[in-house]
Structures are given as C-alpha cells and as structure tokens.
Amino acid sequence: MDPEMDSALLQTHVFSYAELEEATNKFDASDKLGDGGFCTVYKGKLQDGRTVAVKRLYENNYRRVEQFMNEIQILSRLRHQRLVILYGCTSHQSRELLLVYEFVSNGTLAHHLHGSRESQCILTWPMRLRIAIETADALAYLHAVNPPVIHRDVKTNNILLDSNFHVKVADFGLSRLIPKDVTHISTAPQGTPGYLDPEYHQCFQLTDKSDVYSFGVVLFELITSKPAVDMTRNRSEINLANMAITRIQRGELEQLVDAALGYQSDEVTRKMITMVAEVAFRCLQSDGDMRPPIKEVLEVLQAIESDGNRPEKKEHGVAESRDDAELLKNTEPFSPDSVMNRWTSRSTTPQASE
C-alpha cells in the first residue's frame, strides 16, 4: 500500500465492521439511502448518538480498494463547509469496505429536481441559484488547494442538501490530486455519462476545466429540472448539454426553463436565469481553454445573485432587464466554441469583448 495512503488512513478514525453493522441494523434495506454505480449508502446511528451515512462499496477488489483509499486520502486533507465530512472508515483489510460520513438530511439535488422528492418541495429560483453558488464555491476551493483536486464526478447526485438546503459536495472516489506545475493528467476517462467533458473523453487529458464542464450541466439541470441524460427524450436531446446548446443557438431558452421558476411572469427572475444560462453555455464549450475557471464562474454567479436582490432592480426590473433577456434570442446560431459576446471576464487578463 502507498505510504501516503497509509498515512491518510492513520489520520482517519477506523471503525470496526461490527460497529457499523450494528449502526445500520445489519444493513437493513429500510435504512437504505440510495444506490450508486459502485456502492449502496445506508443511514445509521453510532453508539455516541451521531446519525451517519455509511457507504458500502461493492466487491472488495483492487479497484474498489483504490477508490476507497482515494476518497480517504483526499477528504482527510480537506476542510470546507460545502464538502461532506468524512467521520471514518473500516480498515482496507476489513471484510467489507465501509466509509462513514455526516448524514445530510435532504438527500441529493437530483432527487429534488427530477427524482423521488420532486413533488415534496419545489426548489425556487433563489434557492437554485444559491445551490449553484455554494457548489461552485466548493469546486473553487478544490481547485485552489495545494495540490489542487479535480473532483471528476460533479453531478446532481453528488450534491447533497442539508436541512436548510445548503450544499455538501460528496463522492471523491474518482477524484485526482494534480501535481504542482502540471496542467493536466493523462488518464482513461472516468465519470458519468451526460456530465463527462468531451475533450477529456476524446483526448484522455483530465484538467480542472473538466469539472467546469460538468458544473455547466448541473447549471442547466437547475434551470430546466431535467436530468442530464434521458432516454425518453428525442434522440438529438437525450443529452441535456446537447439540448441546451442547440436551443440556445436557436434563441429558444424559454423552452428550456422550468415553467415553475417564474421566467415568464417575473422580469428580474427572467434576467437572472438568462445570465446563468450564459454562464452555463460558457462552461459547456467543447474546447476546455474557452471555458472560464471555476473561480470566475463563482464570482459571476455571486454578482448575478447580488444584482437580482437589489431593491431598485426589483422596482425597475421590467425596464432594465429587457436587453439582457433578449441577449440569447438575438444571437445568430454559432459554433459551441464561440464566446458569449457580453460575458465580462473577471480574470486577471481582461477579455471582455465590449
């Protein structure tokens, strides 16, 4: 075993298998929180009274051990209010590989947008924008730490919501640390269909812009309430990213937006959604170099939220919003590699086109 991984394990509380079996009532099906591609997650209660989520990895083989240790290695060195807390794990030599996290009570963002909780609580536009900002904040932290971390599986199923609908980004099994002064890692593509960066898929080069692409898909899920992949949609629209790019190029943003968000009835909301759609469009550029860094995305989203909350904007929203609301509609069809004309870059190198 890698000495650095052993060190990470030493920094993490190690639970016995029996302790976690008891906490989950012998992994009772009634305590199941969800299934993933490589695991099942159960709700449990530790002897000290803490309610936890216990991830049970399928198959104790080399690849699962690698993912298990990878998650421990990364989460043991990170501390951020928007990242899920890892409480501990079993030994990698245990009969089963188990990871223990804080319990995040409101489930996944995917469940609220287009899953089992969709009808329980409608996420309003202000709530969705705040979720986008908090997710971008978590990713900006990951990309800024030393060494930087690429999550590599950003999706609405990995964005958890607490009792107040604040974000906790989860699942670091596929994440990678980027060595200092290295721009990318050459590795076989891994991730989730619908969210996977096409440049990474084609060139086998993983960069921080791969997370930006995936986040762009999440933004369009927040705007549309549609899943990233839906086999029941028309063939050309099975992939939400392709659907969004095509509709925006045709000036059909209105047809994308979830009707429950007030896009047609409230001019301030209309302007904010239009601007977030532009951010998402930039994130989905097929050329990674054309995508903004996540820090810039975060700053723009924060500015959109702040601008939309100003009292004078709410009073004069109709008059002030029309130009921006028409921005995408008036744009001639263009290549996905192009840049939205009114994007104001907040990077150190001025790139504004106006």
Catalytic residue ranges: 153
CA distance 31 to 10: 29
Token couple for 2:
């890698």
Q: 167 with 160: CB under 8 angstroms? A: yes
Non-local CB neighbours of 37 within 8 Å, separated by 6+ positions:
none
Coil vs helix vs strand at 52: strand
165 burial (CB, 10 Å; 0-12 / 13-18 / 19+) is middle
Residue 102 backbone dihedrals phi, psi, to 5 degrees: -60, 145
Q: What would the two tokens of residue 161 be?
A: 């919501």
CB 118 within 8 A of CB 112: yes
Q: Report the run of H or E that residue 160 belongs to, with start and end.
A: strand 159-161
Looking at this protein, which amino acid is placed at residue 96? E
CA distances from 38 to 41, 65, 73, 270 (A): 10, 11, 18, 40
Query: Roughly how many angstroms between the first and final C-alpha of the chain, as a whole number?
Result: 54
Q: What angle do CA 204, 213, 38 make, to 5 degrees?
A: 70
Query: What does the alpha-carbon distance between residue 75 and residue 61 come to, in Å, rounded to a whole number?
Result: 21
Name, in order, each residue with C-beta under 8 angstroms of 298's C-beta and a sequence gap of 6 or more: 133, 136, 137, 139, 140
Closest CA to 154 of 93, 209, 234: 209
